Chains A and B, each alone.
Chain A
Amino acid sequence: MKLHEYQSKQIFARYGIPIPKGRVAASAIEARQIAEELGGRVVIKSQVLVGGRGKAGGIRVAKSAKEAEELATQILGMEIKGLPVRKVLVDEAANIDHEIYLGITNDRAARRPVIMASAAGGVEIEEVARTNPEKIIKIHIDPLLGLRDYQARDIAISIDLPKEYWKQFTEICRGLWRAYLESDATLAEINPLVILKEKQLMALDGKMLIDDNALFRHTDLAEMRDVDEEVAIETEARKYGLSFIKLEGQIGCMVNGAGLAMATMDIVKLFKGEPANFLDIGGGASSDKVAAALRIILSDKNVKSILFNIFGGITRCDEVAKGILTALKEVKPTIPMVVRLVGTNAEEGRKLLADAKMITAETLVDAAQKAVDAIKN
């Protein structure tokens, strides 16, 4: 789960990381009021969950409260990479002397958290990683011991941070580590961490990604999820415990298991079809869940045929069949449906679906071929 900049910075502040004074606004009037409180000179920052906000014109400096209102009006009317801007963060403008990158993330290959820093902050770190990888300093953190102060100092030395900032920097690293740890983050990033003309370090921007699997122990963070920023049917699918991703094709896919769901999409593509979605109904899905899944697939008007590929194990094919029948009673789709049931209770499942006018298939290849052909006819 992605957090907004303002949410990430609020978390950072709880761990003692200095952030600019500021608040979030949903209207230009509010933005003006906040700017007035902050003394006029502010930065108006669009709050959308995509990168490249600055380049898109979604981050602007205002010299007065009046200008803040004007800029907020513009930014709140924008779309950035297809996402409408619904909120802006109004932050006190900072006197920047230098920009640093600082982040902690999971290094999957090393199986450890890694703290990364670069003297070349402010720009996209992926860009630095591509063009000047030697400018990014990385130190792995023992997951049982946590970040040690000496490691933070080593980072400060490696990025040539002047000695007078080492203490502040170490405290910020410590705070960022605790924010990462205690939020079950997969990324906690300050970009830029700035040296102000006033000789202080401050986190001007922040980004956090939270491990979805850990949200059960972070109900406060789970509530921060911004469903406005998500594809509506993906939100709906999550409510039912379904793993669903909308794609642009015409063949709806319902599969049990993530690997098999991907393989099913791939084979559709191999036969020159385009999958409309990724959908894993999970293990042991009940008929209710299957019915919800089918409604979700059918709510996409691009879908011209549906492919059901169920390999029963924990999941019982007759339960899936019951779910399909339940959904078919409510929504009476006119599009062709191809069903392949193998494994646990497949025979019972096939019998249940015998009168449902579905196209049956024996193998995965056969099923994909039929789902693709069904659109052509």
Chain B
Amino acid sequence: MSIFVDKKTRLLVQGITGNEGLFHAKQMMAYGTKVVAGVTPGKGGEWVLEDKVPVFDSCRAAVDATGANVTVIFVPSRGALDAMFEAADAGIPLIVCITEGVPVQDMMRVREYLDQKHVRLLGPNCPGLLTPGETKVGIIPNDIAIPGNAGVVSRSGTLTYEVLFALKQKNMGVTTCVGIGGDPINGTNFIDCLDLFEADPRTEKVVMIGEIGGTDEEKAAQFIAANMTKPVVAFIAGQTAPPGKRMGHAGAIIEGGAGTAADKVKALESAGVKVAKYPEEIPSLL
């Protein structure tokens, strides 16, 4: 079992003819993901990846022709908003947006629209999803995780790889790894994922990787205390981050005294979560 994606996933890649889109579409296919179509306006009718994947001008045309049910967006930030609206209007129920640097007001508008349409968004500014041994949607390196019983949910990219790698070194596997993205406004939060992991029969424990900024980790702590029976281990990045400075991710900023790592660690520990001091400590805490 897994959450969000599995063997039935039929994936559309928006921005498939760009450098990133093409490279990662190839990687995803190599992993076993069914990449059924790509979209690049103006390139409809072409075929890519050794003529295995048809390119369409619009999401609607791609969905009609191939039955795609998940989309992954590699469109640059100035086009990402439109790409998300287009995917939603084409009736795709799950959108994974890899794109970094989407303006926050765009995110407020698109999130409101997607909620009204009951469309699930992951990201933006996220590495996507990996169900080891089955399916990959996004950019997580192919060889850093093995199948197992731990669910992983994270706001970060390469830090997530670090954690997956540390688990693999100890021969510990993963059901699904979900990158929810490092932006202040995103589609799916920790609680959504924790809820799904709690319900997933294969997942026996959960790793949660947070960082400074916002209050999602604190809310997740409340949710864990009230609703989770499975053990959760967490790591929070940004103990040393100064207030008022945006630490790379648009969402990683301590504002008005809120969103510090210390607050998050305290909230999680009081919810019974073991908090690792560094990523490589996570396997032993599990």
Contact = CB atoms under 8 A, between A and B. Distances in A.
A344 B113 contact: no
A244 to B, nearest CB: 9
Interface residues of B, number: 60
Nearest to A271: B278
Contacts of B103: 184, 211, 213-214, 217
Interface of A: 106, 108-109, 111-113, 126, 129, 142-144, 181, 184, 186, 211-214, 216-217, 243, 245, 247, 255-263, 265-270, 275, 278, 280, 283-284, 311-315, 342-344, 363-365
A266 B161 contact: no
Given A311-B158, A364-B162, A258 B182 contact: yes
B185 A363 contact: no
A259 B237 contact: yes
A257 B105 contact: no
For B20, B139, B140, B156, the residue with the greatest tally of chain A CB atoms inside 10 Å of its CB is: B156
A1 to B, nearest CB: 10
B278 A267 contact: yes
Nearest to B252: A258
A233 B141 CA distance: 32
B239 A260 contact: no
Given A111-B185, A112-B108, A278-B241, A258 B248 contact: yes
B249 A259 contact: yes
Interface stretch (B7-15, B47-55, B58-66, B209-217): B209-217
Contact of A258 (B140, B141, B235, B247): B247
B280 A364 contact: yes
A259 B245 CA distance: 14
Contacts of A344: 141
Interface string B155-172: 111111110010000000
For A111, A280, A284, the residue with the greatest tally of chain B CB atoms inside 10 Å of its CB is: A111
A263 B237 contact: yes
B77 interface: yes
A262 B158 contact: no
Contacts of A311: 158, 161-162, 165
Interface of B: 20, 77-78, 100-109, 111-113, 127, 139-141, 144, 154-162, 165, 182, 184-185, 209, 211-212, 214-215, 235, 237-242, 245-252, 256, 261, 277-280
Given A109-B215, A258-B252, A143 B159 contact: no
Given A106-B104, A269-B240, A261 B248 contact: yes
Nearest to B108: A143
A19 B196 CA distance: 52
Interface SS of chain A: mixed
B36 to A, nearest CB: 24
B161 A111 contact: no
A256 B212 contact: no
B184 A108 contact: yes
Contacts of B212: 262
For A262, A265, A312, the residue with the greatest tally of chain B CB atoms inside 10 Å of its CB is: A262
B215 to A, nearest CB: 6
Contacts of B154: 259
A312 B142 CA distance: 12
B137 to A, nearest CB: 15
A112 to B, nearest CB: 6
A375 B188 CA distance: 43
16 contacts: A106-B108, A106-B185, A143-B112, A214-B105, A245-B242, A258-B252, A260-B156, A260-B159, A260-B162, A262-B159, A262-B247, A266-B238, A266-B240, A270-B277, A313-B161, A363-B280
A343 B182 contact: no
A280 B162 CA distance: 15
Contacts of B247: 243, 245, 258, 261-262, 278
A315 B141 CA distance: 11
Contacts of A113: 105, 108
Contact of B77 (A143, A213, A260): A213
B266 to A, nearest CB: 16
A263 B236 CA distance: 8
Given A143-B109, A260-B156, A344-B141, A217 B78 contact: yes
Given A258-B252, A313-B157, A181 B241 contact: no
A108 B185 contact: yes
A257 B215 contact: no
Nearest to B103: A214
Given A108-B214, A258-B248, A265-B239, 20 more contacts: A106-B105, A108-B185, A108-B215, A143-B105, A181-B105, A213-B250, A217-B78, A243-B247, A257-B157, A259-B160, A259-B252, A261-B247, A262-B211, A263-B162, A266-B240, A270-B277, A283-B100, A342-B165, A343-B141, A364-B278
